[in-house]
Structure 1
Amino acid sequence: MRGKGMTTITLKKINRNKVYQYIYQQKETSKLQIVQDLQMGLSTVSQNLNELEADGLISRNGYFESTGGRKAQIIRIVDDFRISIGVGILKDMFHMVAVNLYGDAIATETVELPYENSDDYYNILSENIRQFITEQNYDTGKIEGISIATQGIISPDGTSVTYGDIMGNTQMQLSDFSKRLPYPCHLEHDSKAAADLELWNHPQFDSALIFLLNPNLGGAIITNHEVHQGSHMRSGLIEHICIDPDGPKCYCGGHGCLETYCSANTLKEAAGMPVKEFFQLLHNSPTPALVQIWQNYLSHLAFAIRNLNLVIDSPVIISGYLAPYFRKEDMQELLEQINTGSLFQMTEDQLLVGNHGQYTPAVGAALYYVKNFLTPAGA
């Protein structure tokens, strides 16, 4: 009897999850549609819908247009039943985002705070996260977890930063956050988090190469529909590929790294002004000097993409802080430069631009807890 009981309970959980996942994927559906597509009995579907609604996981509001009979009620998941908080830490600031179960950023905030490995810093950051949650009027029970994206290589067990020369955060520990916040916490490399977001937005891609054009350049590789980590969590560190041994000195100690040509900081230094101001002038009052700076930047970026695409034959996604500044004509120019002198031609559909800008790592990090919830154990 016990074995039979366990089987029944397991089957009920499977059916409940199937119904929830179906509604999630469809976004809007009806009871009859669920019955037909999942080939479940009407009473089984009705029971699961009643339970999911009672638990607050779905809502039934509004009606579809009539097709001749009784109007079908619209069924949706409650997309803010759980909220994931993403935090993107940079050298001089950090970004916070609240993400719903569809991965949408429904609230964002940026706080200027220079990083330092101190109790004061972590206390201030944690207090800002608490305040951010409070200001959005989120009940604490809604918060699925807080995922932190930072510059630096994360240890395989996810508990610490093992290399963080940009920010000086090599000593950063997951416990620096978890012991100050009453929620589950997760630590992630910002480039890997960005790749998670792009994979979420482009589920059709089996593989892709991500260029994270943040103040410091980052990169990531997607293979077999997963972010490739490498044996020592160093896969995708395109920023330290040397393209000129006699080039500018990189923060890693080397010379001519891609970081020194394609980071947002490099563009800022070349222009002698903030990036936002540079693009305002470039797009509205361009001068030959400004156009040349941008052409030089695109030329180096094209060089990197052309060569890396020979290693990773896949679509390329321009992501991060600079992505929103790329206009259609910029992408066309970039594609032309990539294909100039190239043995294999890249097509327009293989070169894409991300759409979350500076919040990309934070949103990508937040997806960690969204995906956790959406597993059968979550819903």
Structure 2
Amino acid sequence: MPSNVAAVKQINRENVLKFVYTQRSTTQKAIKDALQLSRSTIIQILKEFEDKNLIIKRGHLESTGGRRASNLYFSRYSKIAIGVELLVDSYEIVALDLYGETIKYERFDLLYENTDCYYETVCRSVQALIHSLTLDSNKILGVGIVLQGLISNDGTQVTYGKILGCTGLRVDAFTRYLPYRCQFFHDAEAATLDELWQSPGLTNAIYIHIRSNMSGAIVVNRQSLTGTELKSGVFEHMTIVPNGKPCYCGNRGCLDTYCSTTALLHTDETLDSFFQALRTGDLAVRARWMEYLHYLALAINNLHMMIDCPIILGGTIAKFLQGSDLKLLHQFIHDNTAFPTEREFIRVTCCPDSPISRGAALPAIKKYLHSILGHDFVF
């Protein structure tokens, strides 16, 4: 019997905290009406959560004749998660609150080097950002680090990092300078995590991350599909042109060599200048764009034949894509696939301007929220 009583009390605690978290702003009466708990039970639970700094009172509702009700809020800043992305010529850091919303973002220009000096510099920037927000190290849930490379299943080692030249890099290169739990993430995995956070209705998808180098992930039941060694989304290295252009992986004709932004742009171009020329009618640029879409459609059709689910286009190219581009992709696929459909299944990411480092911070937030809201809470 005592264990049953304890279980009921724990369920009541989780339900109250879930309600406050999802409502963002509420009152004792609203909790009572929604959860059908006694006033004394609610008061006791709220007092416990206030003492733990999980719920805060701030302001009052307008009086209706009696004592004004206090507004109750989930303490969104009681914990903070940090995301970092390392790129060839820069790195970025983001801090997120418990709603996964950005508190602070910083970007630094620095050429990547696989040296202790470089990692110490990055870690000093992380510590400086954290100290600008809080001096309480217990508030920090962890640091997620995004890399363009393949990551071990436990997130502690780069198993293939040819783009940055960091194969074999271990996470202790950061933990020796940071007193927090650190974990590596593949860039497409991090981008997909942010997509899922900001798209609660998304269940299954193939995410294609297009920037200077391509990457991708497959989402099944709101989880990135995990493979044995190569994760689930190394389809940027599928061959689409036998004996085609050489790829950095050592093979030829990979998708990356035809559909990355590096493959699209000339050396003197940027995405801004390319798409400005495209939208203003430059015929040579349009011909190049049509060839690019042809190869991208070929890859998308192959992936869609394997798994019939939405295709999401993300990365630096995403914010430049228009409805007309998606229509062309659908038309190219329709004209060449064995199983044409009128259904439009390709869309652009819902967060084209979000830094990928956000996705590396989100798992620490989800883990913490599950610990206080219960593992049945769905993100």
After TM superposition, the score normalised by the length of structure 2 is 0.89
Deviations 1:195-252 (A, max 9, x none): 2222222232321100111221000001132111112243211100100013211001
| Contact 2:309–2:345 under 8 Å retained in 1 | no
Question: Which residue of structure 2 aligns with residue 170 of structure 1?
Answer: 167
State the match for 1:300 in structure 2. 295
1:184/1:295 Cα in 2 relative to 1: closer, same or farther (>3 Å)? same
C-alpha distance after superposition, 1:276-310 (max 9, x if no partner): 33234444x44112222223222222221122111
Matched with 1:264 is 261
| Correspondence 1:373 to 2:368 | yes
- Which segments of 5 or more consecutive residues in structure 2 lack a partner in the other structure? 375-379
2: CA distance, partners of 1:276 / 1:115: 25
Partners in 1 of 2:146 and 2:140 — Cα distance?
17
Residue by residue, what CA displacement relative to the aligned partner does 1:156-189 show, whole Å, maximum 9, x if unpaired?
2322111111111112101111111021211111
> Partners of 1:286 and 1:64 in 2: how far apart?
57
Alignment partners' CA distance in 2, 1:86 and 1:356: 17
- Most deviating of 170-179 and 133-142: 133-142
Letter of the 1:182 counterpart: P
Counterpart amino acid of 2:293? L
Q: Are the structure 2 counterparts of residues 19 and 289 from structure 1 closer, same or farther at C-alpha, using a change threshold of 3 Å?
A: same
Per-residue Cα deviation, 1:89-118 (whole angstroms, up to 9, x for no partner):
222222211111111223222222222221
Residue 239 (structure 1) aligns with: 236
Question: Identity of paired residues, percent?
Answer: 36
Equivalence for 2:83? 86
CA distance in 2, matches of 1:349, 1:60: 45
Aligned with 2:118 (options 121, 127, 150) = 121
The match for 1:105 is 102
Q: Which region of structure 1 is more displaced relative to structure 2, 253-262 or 97-106?
A: 97-106
What is the Cα deviation at residue 7 of structure 1?
5.9
1:273 and 2:263 are equivalent in the alignment:
no
Deviates more, 1:106-115 or 1:62-71: 62-71
Aligned partners of 2:218 and 2:225 also within 8 Å? yes
Any conservation in 2 of the 1:97–1:105 contact (CA below 8 Å)?
yes
SS at 1:109 equivalent: strand
Partner of 2:199: 202
> Using a 3 Å threshold, how does the CA distance of structure 1 residues 369 and 333 change in structure 2: closer, same or farther?
same
Once residues 323 and 67 of structure 1 are traced to their aligned partners in structure 2, the CA distance between those partners, rounded to angstroms, is 50
Determine helix, strand or coil for the equivalent of 1:60: strand
Q: Displacement of 1:73 after TM fit?
A: 4.2
Tell me which residue corresponds to 2:334. Answer: 339
> Could you tell me which amino acid in structure 1 is paired with residue 86 of structure 2?
I
Structure 2: how far apart are the matches of 1:212 and 1:249?
Answer: 20
Q: What is the rounded CA distance, in whole Å, between the counterparts of 2:188 and 2:342 in structure 1?
A: 23
- Cα distance in 1 for partners of 2:230, 2:41 equals 46
1:316-342, CA deviations, whole angstroms, 9 ceiling, x for partnerless residues? 111122212223333333333333333
Matched length:
373
1:179-190 → structure 2 map (5 Å cutoff): 179-190=176-187
State the distance in 2 between where 1:321 and 1:242 align.
Answer: 23
Deviation at 1:28, TM superposition (A): 3.0
| Structure 1 unaligned residues grouped into runs of 5+ | none
Structure 2: how far apart are the matches of 1:107 and 1:334? 37
| Cα distance change of structure 1 residues 330 and 29 upon mapping to structure 2, 3 Å threshold | farther
Distance 2:353 2:292 in 1: 18
Note if contact 2:334-2:341 (Cα within 8 Å) is conserved in structure 1: yes
Counterpart CA distance in 2 for 1:204 and 1:298 is 28
SS at match of 2:107: strand
